[in-house]
Structure 1
Amino acid sequence: MSAGITVSDRGPVRILSVDRPDRRNALRTDTAEALELALRAAADDDAVRAVVLTGTGGHFSAGGDAGSILEHIAEDDPALLALMRAFHRLVVELWESRLPVVAAVSGVAYGGAVNLALACDLVVASEDARFCQVFVRRGVVPDVGGAWLLPRLIGLQRAKELMLLAPEIDARHAERLGLVNTVEPDAEAALERAVALAEQLAALPPFTVALSKKLLNHSADDDLRGSLEREAVTQAAALRSRPAVEGFEAFRKGTTR
């Protein structure tokens, strides 16, 4: 049985697509595992400088595959824990990857799929995108890192509203809340915009992008003093890099802004 992802390259940008259009790209354990491995492979490939995560057939993903989840429920507790941990490894890989990751979201993004998008560094949505933290409607708690990610993005009260009341929100609402960086007319335009943003990120010094991503991702976990110390150590490393030295030399000579 196919894990249901496709991988393609657009110059330095690697596009990872969940490819189960007959199931609105519902996610199984093997899908999560395949995405995790594909992200690791991208990070290990020096030719890849940024990643786009998307879905085929006009939808990002309907969330967890109901059939697969029921199969795990029929087994034992270790099977359910293995299911969750497969998705947790994927979230960590997205969050901690040295590569910037841009999500291109169209159609439905429900449940755990929303939280996969939130673990990316930037999110582009199409006008028809619909987001829903549907968990409580299905008698379960938020997963795929959502209870950690969402309050950091929009604040605790707004996060409770989306997770406890579980409304479906459209792309413009998501943009106003800060879940989405930009909204495009349709799925094709959203993907093209995501690739364009990924290309911009790919053109930047990769070491600097990776360090900046790490600083930002840790910012909510540190107090001010801890954050400043992390910044000092990180900046010391960045300042010794070739792009930094070349950049300051060019600035001193007046050849760049």
Structure 2
Amino acid sequence: MTDWQAFTVETDDRVARVTLTGPGKGNAMGPDFWRELPEIFRGLDADPEVRAVVLTGSGKHFSYGLDLPAMSGTFGPLMADRALAAPRTDFLGEIRRLQDAITAVAECRKPVIAAVSGWCIGGGLDLISAADIRYASAEAKFSLREAKVAIVADVGSLQRLPGIIGEGHLRELAYTAKDIDAARAEKIGLVNDVHPDQDALLEAAHATAREIAANPPLVVQGVKDVLGQRNAAAVAESLRYVSTWNAAFLPSEDLTEAIQAVFEKRTPDYKGR
């Protein structure tokens, strides 16, 4: 067993359960998360004893998204030397590393079922967009929050959610950065089903995982491969485009203000500069 810092991984009856554990508040996604996520899912992909995966969060929440304080070093050099090529090139590589972490979930040949309780914000939405099936508990809330922190979402939600919820719903969520509840998420197709509480949610997710695991594994993998092929090239091209776009345009006074507001625990005042 690997001693993961941001996850726990358990396997029972051909179903793996991957649980986000932080260490940031609300299972926020810090350096450990981004380093470990692709290792875990590539390992599950290669494990012949695993046929399906349940992905969930520890405690009350799925994830608060990117851990801005823990990841602020990623933005620092870019903001300090915004006109120089070297920090932009380094930042481009960093975006693509984060993208690859989420893509490892999408490319895992074993179907992934996301079980969401509480908040699923920003990077959390990127993560569940890479899953095959999404369930929620009744108190779950979702937010494509990046616009509120002066960032164009760049690790998968803008690429994968059109095929899940459609362009109109995605544009509304992305432009407004609004919060939606589980009922709204089910109505727009973001989640397949809503369950009364976290226990019922996990029971349902594992029940579906066991149904999948009971089928011929190579056939299930083949179905996932065929379904993924339809959009794989478009998703990959769009991910490369947004990484280049953010490396060029992300540095701004508004981003600096967003980061400072997080540290100072206040509402940001954006100027459009």
Identify the match of residue 92 of structure 2 among 53, 71, 81.
Answer: 81
Q: How does 1:1-257 map to 2 (within 5 A)?
A: 3-20=5-22, 23-75=25-77, 76-220=87-231
1:109–1:130 CA contact under 8 A, matched in 2: yes
Number of equivalenced pairs:
222
1:21–1:57 CA contact under 8 A, matched in 2: no
Length-normalised TM-score, structure 1? 0.81
Distance of 1:80 and 1:59 partners within structure 2 = 29
* CA deviations over 1:162-205 (Å, ceiling 9, x no partner): 10011100111101101101111112221121111111111111
Distance of 2:23 and 2:114 partners within structure 1 = 17
Unaligned runs of 5+ in 2: 78-86, 234-273
Length-normalised TM-score, structure 2? 0.76
1:72–1:79 CA contact under 8 A, matched in 2: no
Mark the CA change 1:156 to 1:172 in structure 2 (over 3 Å): closer, same or farther: same
Deviates more, 1:69-78 or 1:115-124: 69-78
Distance of 1:11 and 1:208 partners within structure 2 = 19
1:29–1:86 CA contact under 8 A, matched in 2: no
Output the amino acid matched with 2:199: E
Instruction: Give 1:78 deviation, angstroms.
Output: 4.8
Tell me, what secondary structure is at the counterpart of 2:104?
helix
1:126–1:190 CA contact under 8 A, matched in 2: yes
Unaligned runs of 5+ in 1: 223-257
Query: Percent identity, aligned pairs only?
Result: 36
Mark the CA change 1:17 to 1:86 in structure 2 (over 3 Å): closer, same or farther: farther
Mark the CA change 1:155 to 1:204 in structure 2 (over 3 Å): closer, same or farther: same
Instruction: Give 1:2 deviation, angstroms.
Output: 6.4
Instruction: Give 1:90 deviation, angstroms.
Output: 2.0
* CA deviations over 1:4-35 (Å, ceiling 9, x no partner): 11111122111111102651000023212212
- Structure 1: 4+ residue segments shifted above 4 A: none
Tell me, what secondary structure is at the counterpart of 1:42?
helix
* CA deviations over 1:111-156 (Å, ceiling 9, x no partner): 0111210110001101111000011111110122111111121222
* Higher Rg: 1
Output the amino acid matched with 1:48: V
Instruction: Give 1:89 deviation, angstroms.
Output: 1.3
2:24–2:67 CA contact under 8 A, matched in 1: no
Deviates more, 1:69-78 or 1:105-114: 69-78
